[in-house]
Structure 1
Amino acid sequence: MQQPQPPQGLQALRDIVLVGGGHTHVGVLKRFAMRPEPGVRLTLICRDTHTPYSGMLPGYVAGHYGYDDVHIDLRRLAEYAGARFYRDEAIGIDHEARQVLCQSRPPVPYDWMSINIGSTPRVGKVSGADAHAVPVKPIHRFNDRWQTLLQRVEEHPGRTRVAVVGGGAGGVELLLAMQYRLGHELAARGRDPEELSFALFTRGEQILPTHNARVRAHFLATLTRRRVEVHTGTEITAVEAGRLKANDSTWHSADEIVWVTNAGGADWLKDTRLDLDDDGFIKVGDTLQTLSDPRVFAAGDIAHQVNHPREKAGVFAVRQGRPLADNLRAAMTGRPLSPYRPQRHWLALISTGDRHAVASRGKWYLAGDWLWRWKDWIDRRFMARFNDLAPMAEDTMKAPATSRVVLDDEESAQAISAIAMRCGGCGAKVGATTLSRALSTLEPVAREEVLVGLHSPDDAAVVRVPSGKDMVHTVDFFRAFIDDPYVFGKVAANHALGDIFAMGAEAQTATAVATVPQGLEAKVEDTVFQMMSGAVEVLNAADCALVGGHTGEGSELALGFAVNGLIDSGSMGERTEDDGHAGTALMTKGGLRPGQVLILTKPIGTGTLFAAHARLAARGRWIDAALASMCQSNREGAACLREHGATACTDITGFGLLGHLVEMTRPSGVDAELDLATLPLLEGAEETVAAGILSSLQPANVRLRRAIRDQEAWVEHPRYPLLFDPQTAGGLLAGVPAERAQACLEALHALGYERAAIIGRIQAPGEVLEPIHLKG
């Protein structure tokens, strides 16, 4: 029987979920970027936005490279590949439901998945090692400790003893890199490098056991020349603060202990039904499919290819990128999978920290400075493949007219229905069954005033207004600007709640309005579930009950809320800064007073950053920080501002900082002085603005420049454009009595608004028309 042909036009017929950002998966992303598969959606789940290239890590430790030189920006690469990037950590697999279980987000469905999470040093097998030793993986933890060690050695003279446990190439190379960097840092400060001492411990009878004798001899001579104590045949059996115990019961002192041995699979894999070897690595066949579940693939260090066992080396992970991508593509399109056989011998280029390297391949050996230069050229060329992401050529971007994804009869009928000509009105609603399934597991917070809501659905919600309260109403709606519906749901809810908190009110109820792209029922259901899970999490934290909503189909994902809030009756009356109503009084835009200071609770820059992200011009960590800021609620910040006498407040959103400040100065009848030097900015915002990358809303906001006194004098200031940058889920801008401002700022910092800052002062109206004066 001929398979049904999927119709053209649907983006997500099948989901490939990539767990981990290892060397193999970056290769998969690049291959799908170069040749997209219509109907196939990729999702990358990874704890770290920037993944290190293992071949350059010793050079980074030695100081030859900067952080960005040796890390692949996964968020940028995923955007380039048209893949979704979920910054989280996998903790399990539900094979029956085909879902990846995550640390801090809802489960992620997959049709096929692949695991490329590397290996994990098992410090837990040695008493005290988990508490007192630093495993080289995960790299972000090692890097944090390494930076701390660098600072300590640089700032505090005295003897420092470093011990490295692990005599393979990784341990030896890392030790020599650390010694080189620390020694040079001391020498640069006029101190004696002999303050440092290094020791290498390995339970094997020789170092670098998988390499030939001449390679081992070269490194042994290097270690001896550089006065490194080498303890072979020495297994570490216990670790305590400042010392380690060998298998002969001898204790060795060490101020810093780095662990580069006893690697195994992640602990969470034990609770899956995947077939693992004795070290916890996933057994895979020649096609890189796991032996226990053909829908799950594995590659890189975490995989054990049973028919072709090899040493754990980055070269194999890199070379598995192409066969894994090809087999995932084949699995989606119903074609036979191809076997992959790794080479028996490979070239290893091992550095000695001082821009010198040794080449090792089987019995072959070479050494020299020129080899380090060659290695540097190879490594930089490799990194350029994933970090130098030029726009794709137009003909490359064009996808084939028809998807090759294999669907069953029911799915094919759903797909045809999804792209068929839809009527307007109610015909555009998401199906009731799909919607009810998506929302069935959500648990909105319950409030006693809600008489009819999601717990007993009807045509409309019925909510009682408590005695002595007035209602506060607001509405916000916007399309998704990121490809993670869960995080988007959190941001959208925070954005909508911002107006309520800025008024000094408490949130009571919310009604949602969403549009979701057409697709297979399972895909639409998951999108709604992910998005509303994030939103309900934020609403519940604000004690705001979701009481209903409307979900329809549209070309883009979008979400908004009509939010109702409560404020004490009579709070609209005239208020002074010390009238005793700080906890309940309504804060309006017109309440600014001369002599107050302006406090901004969050940094600005989301508009330019996400415009840059869409153009692959923003670093992933900049977007991480922006999303973290957008997901931070304004609830506690608003309460803190009220407690410290704020009389006026607004949340900074689409009109930008200047637009919202003008909205406050006009009804208040005051002028304001803004200090550009004290503006808190999101990391990367100045860089993207300097590159001329601005939000599409920026030109409309710039029209308000006429509110700035002598604005021509400030046009060239690097922070000037950020006054007009539209914000999403931005911070609060409030007028606070000057004598209470410092205490307010300290309280905000303690609440987690670490970038809150005093950015200006309120002045009596002057004779000139323009209300805003800049300094900086």
Structure 2
Amino acid sequence: MQPLPGVRLTLISAGSNTPYSGMLPGHVAGLYSYDECHIDLRPLAKAAQAQFYLDQVIGLDLENQRVLCANHPPVGFDAVSIDIGSTPALPDVPGAAEYSIPVKPWDQFLAQWQRLIAQVKLAPTQPICLAIVGGGAGGVELALTIQYQIQQILQRAEQPLDNVQIHLFHRGDQVMTGHNGWVRNRFHRILTHKGVHLHLEEDVQEVHAGIVYCRSGFKLTCDRIFWVTRASAPLWPRTSGLATDDQGFIQVSPTLQSLSHPQVFAAGDIAAMVQSPRPKAGVFAVRQGRPLAENLRRFLGGETLEKYRPQRQILGLISTGDRNAVLSWGPLPWGWESPWLWRWKDKIDRKFMDQFKNLAMPSMAPTPVAAEPVMYCAGCGSKVGGSVLERTLQRVQKAQPSIAIEGEVIIGLDAADDAAIVSVPDGQVMAHTLDYFRSLISDPFIFGQICTHHSLSDLFAMGATPQTVLALASLPYASDAKLEETLFQLLSGATQVLHEAGALLVGGHTTEGNELAFGLSCNGVLKRDRILRKSDLKPDQALIMTKPLGTGTLFAADMRLQARGRWIDTAVESMLQSNQAAATCLIKHQASACTDITGFGLLGHLLEMVKAAPVSVDLDLDALSPLPGAMTCLERGIFSSLHPQNLRAGQQIENVNESQTHPHWHLLFDPQTSGGLLGAVPAEHVLDCLADLQALGYLHSRQIGWVIPSRPLAQPVRCVISRRR
């Protein structure tokens, strides 16, 4: 929350919500909602003025100091902090990987858990049998919380509580390995009293679909198998060349630095503290946070690092599933069980999570590049330096495969001339379009993709095939290395989309400014007699919308730290869906007119079509499809800054007074980034066209209206409301 001058912070995570392990047992028991026990990383990163990359890390290129991701280009770093936790170790047990459900990663486990809960609610009379492998604290807590949640459902459905059977398998002769004798005995009594079937000194030898085989010969047929055994590490830290222990955890010194690479830090479960080994427990990860942050600052500032000294004993508050908890402290045979302990634990956990809610808006002023103020030139003096540009283009061209386009690129990126020269194929005409806007997301790679999809959509809407593109990028003031990294990520995103669309980047211009902005001048080719014009809207056609609405309000909420990360994830997923296949589908079904829905909102772009024809339209407000979270944001009065201007178009709706009380009213004026296509097809083609669009992945495609002859002396659009939501 206190940015260092000249330091760019990038958070890379496989999910936009990260669980707080201390509250997850309560979530499984139904005592906490999903949002109460998860940290929303998108607003957190925005409040900390950090870039957020939603991706899975798969390795490190330590020689070139780059993080390797599954879906991003390599991400450069000066220092990297690895805090990825652990996963349950799946031993060499045949079938365990295929037929069991590991408790980590938590998001995958919780998805399976929600499906199980839905199944129980749907058929509470159906007996269910669950197996849990692993009798440590995690397995015991899971057994008790699962039982509590399912029995609550059965009780509400007035079904016998023994309709659920829980079987806990453990190699040892006592549960709760690692805790003192009092705690082990106490949990043994709790489990027995609650009817959990304990299988101690049982070694699971093999797992089939719904069957657990033990070395002793015991066999259990069950509905689900959960795996909660000792922690294990992913392979990539070791294969990247970091010093690791025998289990693959990153070996760190007391300063939390890798023993082999001082620019690499690690904390939490993934770290193995060589001089002071400790068990894998969340309390150590939390305690390491402050010294980790301090040492990252000191490392970047060239200062002496401080040593982290972990406590010898940790206080354990272990849930029994039913708003009760057991206190575990040290090796002495002592402990305590009480509902008061649960309330105390609940208060501690909620206080911890409150740090990540109600975050303060970051200053709109950019983070200074250097401690001393710098006067930046305007005009051509604001261009990105030639060496930075040359290195970046070499990296981009090397990373992207070559493609063939319609026409010939006579002069392009590989030449030092002042302009690109491209031939136009015989018998075709050229379509030109231009888009440019500020970044709405902190990931330049994803922003480059979104902007490119957005820019190309104008060509698709007119039936054109993209050919060549010129790019215009404004990069935030930074050092040469950071400028190169930002431009590489940005252009890599753009060229990836261009390659998929069959187009080439042939030139462009760069400049520096206060914030990231990007635009593309796109050129396409098409036959003169196959141009899709807005003016070719005809009566008796159906209007089809290919994507959901709501990006304007969602990103307005995101700027205010009032949007949930999963809402933004879904919006980004929609914006990254190309309109190319949708345009081809609309043309196949004899569309005569088409447009893409962007800044003027659905109604603004629809009115452009209606007035050019001229015709009238009946618009079905009920058929509009909002993105998740969009209606919540609109109901809270969160609008894009362009929304009030777009709202003026509402006066051209015939029944405006009736329509503006509909829940979807404000969706009509919400400006879209990389929105969908609005196409007009003959009525007899609607069902086939919608079926084809669904098959192509446009799952929110809807018929949203009908074209009718122009109504004299009436406004051109009338809203038809068939039902209220």
- Calculate the TM-score normalised by the size of structure 2: 0.95
Deviation at 1:518, TM superposition (A): 2.5
Deviation at 1:457, TM superposition (A): 4.3
Q: 1:587 aligns with which of 501, 512, 532?
A: 532
For residues 254 and 60 of structure 1, the distance between their equivalents in structure 2, rounded to whole angstroms, comes to 23
| Alignment-derived partner of residue 139 in structure 1 | 106
Which of 272-281 and 245-254 deviates more?
245-254
Q: 1:468 aligns with which of 403, 411, 427?
A: 427
Q: 2:545 aligns with which of 576, 591, 600?
A: 600
| Alignment-derived partner of residue 560 in structure 1 | 519
Q: 2:349 aligns with which of 379, 392, 395?
A: 379
| Alignment-derived partner of residue 96 in structure 2 | 129
| Alignment-derived partner of residue 23 in structure 1 | none
> Is the aligned partner of 1:96 residue 2:96?
no
For residues 709 and 423 of structure 1, the distance between their equivalents in structure 2, rounded to whole angstroms, comes to 49
Q: What letter corresponds to residue 179 of structure 2 in structure 1?
A: H
| Alignment-derived partner of residue 5 in structure 2 | 38
> Is the aligned partner of 1:422 residue 2:377?
yes
Q: Contact (CA 8 Å) 2:7, 2:369: kept in 1 or not?
A: no
Deviations 1:269-299 (A, max 9, x none): 2211111111111111101111111100000
For residues 516 and 38 of structure 1, the distance between their equivalents in structure 2, rounded to whole angstroms, comes to 17
Q: 2:463 aligns with which of 501, 504, 510?
A: 504
| Alignment-derived partner of residue 4 in structure 1 | none
| Alignment-derived partner of residue 404 in structure 2 | 446
Deviation at 1:105, TM superposition (A): 0.6
| Alignment-derived partner of residue 271 in structure 1 | 239
> Is the aligned partner of 1:519 residue 2:478?
yes
For residues 631 and 281 of structure 1, the distance between their equivalents in structure 2, rounded to whole angstroms, comes to 36
For residues 380 and 513 of structure 1, the distance between their equivalents in structure 2, rounded to whole angstroms, comes to 47
For residues 751 and 602 of structure 1, the distance between their equivalents in structure 2, rounded to whole angstroms, comes to 12
For residues 91 and 472 of structure 2, the distance between their equivalents in structure 1, rounded to whole angstroms, comes to 49
For residues 19 and 434 of structure 2, the distance between their equivalents in structure 1, rounded to whole angstroms, comes to 43
> Is the aligned partner of 1:355 residue 2:353?
no
Q: 1:756 aligns with which of 689, 698, 701?
A: 701
| Alignment-derived partner of residue 556 in structure 2 | 611
Deviations 1:439-469 (A, max 9, x none): 1132353325222212344222221111121
For residues 323 and 616 of structure 1, the distance between their equivalents in structure 2, rounded to whole angstroms, comes to 27
SS of the residue 2:512 aligns to: strand
Q: What letter corresponds to residue 446 of structure 1 in structure 2?
A: A
Q: 1:636 aligns with which of 581, 597, 613?
A: 581
For residues 353 and 618 of structure 2, the distance between their equivalents in structure 1, rounded to whole angstroms, comes to 46
Deviation at 1:421, TM superposition (A): 4.1
> Is the aligned partner of 1:369 residue 2:339?
yes
Structure-2 change in CA distance of 1:400 and 1:195 (3 Å): closer
| Alignment-derived partner of residue 329 in structure 1 | 297
Q: Contact (CA 8 Å) 1:37, 1:403: kept in 2 or not?
A: no
For residues 170 and 366 of structure 2, the distance between their equivalents in structure 1, rounded to whole angstroms, comes to 53
| Alignment-derived partner of residue 359 in structure 2 | 389
For residues 314 and 70 of structure 1, the distance between their equivalents in structure 2, rounded to whole angstroms, comes to 14
Q: Contact (CA 8 Å) 2:202, 2:215: kept in 1 or not?
A: yes
Deviation at 1:158, TM superposition (A): 3.0
Structure-2 change in CA distance of 1:488 and 1:345 (3 Å): same
> Is the aligned partner of 1:770 residue 2:715?
yes
Aligned-residue RMSD, C-alpha = 1.8
Q: Contact (CA 8 Å) 2:231, 2:280: kept in 1 or not?
A: no
For residues 477 and 223 of structure 2, the distance between their equivalents in structure 1, rounded to whole angstroms, comes to 59
> Is the aligned partner of 1:699 residue 2:644?
yes
Gap regions ≥5 residues in structure 1: 1-32, 405-414, 572-584
> Is the aligned partner of 1:285 residue 2:239?
no
> Is the aligned partner of 1:320 residue 2:281?
no
SS of the residue 1:535 aligns to: helix
For residues 401 and 616 of structure 1, the distance between their equivalents in structure 2, rounded to whole angstroms, comes to 22
Deviations 1:234-277 (A, max 9, x none): 22222111212223243322221000103211122221111111
Deviations 1:140-159 (A, max 9, x none): 11111111212223334433
SS of the residue 1:41 aligns to: coil
Deviation at 1:401, TM superposition (A): 8.7
Q: Contact (CA 8 Å) 1:38, 1:399: kept in 2 or not?
A: no
Q: 1:82 aligns with which of 19, 43, 49?
A: 49
SS of the residue 1:387 aligns to: coil
| Alignment-derived partner of residue 339 in structure 1 | 307
| Alignment-derived partner of residue 200 in structure 2 | 232
Q: What letter corresponds to residue 379 of structure 2 in structure 1?
A: G
For residues 188 and 698 of structure 2, the distance between their equivalents in structure 1, rounded to whole angstroms, comes to 52
> Is the aligned partner of 1:661 residue 2:581?
no
Q: Contact (CA 8 Å) 1:469, 1:566: kept in 2 or not?
A: yes
Aligned residues: 713
Q: 1:62 aligns with which of 17, 26, 29?
A: 29
Q: What letter corresponds to residue 611 of structure 1 in structure 2?
A: A
Q: What letter corresponds to residue 301 of structure 2 in structure 1?
A: T
Deviations 1:691-726 (A, max 9, x none): 111111112211212211132333343321221111
Q: Contact (CA 8 Å) 1:445, 1:546: kept in 2 or not?
A: no
| Alignment-derived partner of residue 626 in structure 1 | 571
Q: Contact (CA 8 Å) 1:165, 1:201: kept in 2 or not?
A: yes
SS of the residue 1:650 aligns to: strand
Deviation at 1:765, TM superposition (A): 1.3
Q: Contact (CA 8 Å) 2:618, 2:706: kept in 1 or not?
A: yes
For residues 230 and 367 of structure 2, the distance between their equivalents in structure 1, rounded to whole angstroms, comes to 47
Q: 2:78 aligns with which of 105, 108, 111?
A: 111
Deviations 1:62-104 (A, max 9, x none): 1111111111001111111111100001111111111100011
Deviation at 1:759, TM superposition (A): 1.2
For residues 61 and 421 of structure 1, the distance between their equivalents in structure 2, rounded to whole angstroms, comes to 54
Structure-2 change in CA distance of 1:441 and 1:124 (3 Å): farther
Q: Contact (CA 8 Å) 2:366, 2:515: kept in 1 or not?
A: no
Q: What letter corresponds to residue 630 of structure 1 in structure 2?
A: M
Structure-2 change in CA distance of 1:437 and 1:608 (3 Å): same
> Is the aligned partner of 1:186 residue 2:140?
no
For residues 513 and 50 of structure 2, the distance between their equivalents in structure 1, rounded to whole angstroms, comes to 20
Deviations 1:365-409 (A, max 9, x none): 1112222122112111111111232447x8xx99999956xxxxx
Q: What letter corresponds to residue 624 of structure 1 in structure 2?
A: D
| Alignment-derived partner of residue 646 in structure 1 | 591
Q: What letter corresponds to residue 662 of structure 1 in structure 2?
A: L
Q: Contact (CA 8 Å) 1:265, 1:281: kept in 2 or not?
A: yes
| Alignment-derived partner of residue 272 in structure 2 | 304
For residues 672 and 420 of structure 1, the distance between their equivalents in structure 2, rounded to whole angstroms, comes to 55
Structure-2 change in CA distance of 1:640 and 1:267 (3 Å): same
Deviation at 1:47, TM superposition (A): 0.4
| Alignment-derived partner of residue 178 in structure 2 | 210
SS of the residue 1:475 aligns to: strand
Q: What letter corresponds to residue 288 of structure 2 in structure 1?
A: Q
Q: 1:167 aligns with which of 122, 135, 142?
A: 135
Q: Contact (CA 8 Å) 1:602, 1:732: kept in 2 or not?
A: yes
Q: What letter corresponds to residue 247 of structure 1 in structure 2?
A: R
Q: Contact (CA 8 Å) 1:36, 1:399: kept in 2 or not?
A: no
Which of 515-524 and 282-291 deviates more?
515-524
For residues 631 and 760 of structure 1, the distance between their equivalents in structure 2, rounded to whole angstroms, comes to 26
Structure-2 change in CA distance of 1:390 and 1:526 (3 Å): closer
Q: 1:431 aligns with which of 359, 370, 385?
A: 385
* Equivalent residues in 2 for 1:221-260, closer than 5 Å: 221-260=189-228
Q: What letter corresponds to residue 111 of structure 1 in structure 2?
A: D
Structure-2 change in CA distance of 1:605 and 1:590 (3 Å): same
For residues 5 and 375 of structure 2, the distance between their equivalents in structure 1, rounded to whole angstroms, comes to 18
Deviations 1:401-420 (A, max 9, x none): 9956xxxxxxxxxx98xx34
Gap regions ≥5 residues in structure 2: none
